[in-house]
Amino acid sequence: MRCSGYSNINNANYFVHFIASIMGLLLSKIWSLFGNEEHKLVLVGLDNAGKTTILYQLLMSEAVHTSPTIGSNVEEVKWKNFHFIMWDLGGQESLRSAWSTYYTNTEFIILVIDSTDRERLSITKEELYRLLAHEELSRAALLVYANKQDVQGALTPTEISHHLNLTCIKKHKWQIQACCALTGEGLYQGLEWIGSTIKSK
């Protein structure tokens, strides 16, 4: 009887271990599926802001030579457990009217600003509020990269936020992040905010 009881205990322990293993595999699978879910991001901003440099810095972790974007570039960027589809849209005046054709299913708008380009901040502001008013971006969150912080005399994120009236944005989550596209400094802090925003949904 003692041996039989011992066997029953072993069987029970084995069963519990088996169930725990199955649950672990299922949770891992679910997490894997969640982690591989695609999230669409669009990079916008005026020409020469550094959008393409940022895209390939995030993709390759190095600065690459770029030329003005005619139309768009699109790349898959995998970071931690996130899978981003990033669209880099040309920022020349003649191309901005086409931005809206890329808005469908966009979760995050990344606005890249040349922090040394004081003269065109008013144009950036106009474009920002035009896109925020677009119906297809009503649920999109906004990340502002204040680029070229390595250049002497660059506006600070606080100054840029003031010029763009970012505190008046109430219907969209937003964040402004100082960065340098050439070195990658600050870029991943921006992705951290995006990741936290995704997890909070």
92 is catalytic: yes
Q: Could you tell me which residues are annotated as the binding site?
A: 45-52, 69, 91, 147-150
The distance between the two most distant Cα atoms of the chain, rounded to a whole number of Å, is 90
Return binding residues for GTP: 45-52, 91, 147-150
**Are 176 and 137 within 8 A, CB to CB?**
no
Q: How far apart are CA 42 and CA 103, in angstroms?
A: 8
Select which of 92, 152, 175, 177 is catalytic.
Answer: 92
3-state percent breakdown (helix, strand, coil) of the chain, nearest 5: 45, 20, 35
Structure token pair of residue 12: 């029970």
In sequence order, the β-bridge partners of residue 175 are 143
Going by the annotation, the residues of the binding site for Mg(2+) are: 52, 69
| 3-class secondary structure per residue, 115-134 | CCCHHHHHHHHHHHHHHHCC
Q: What positions carry a catalytic annotation?
A: 92
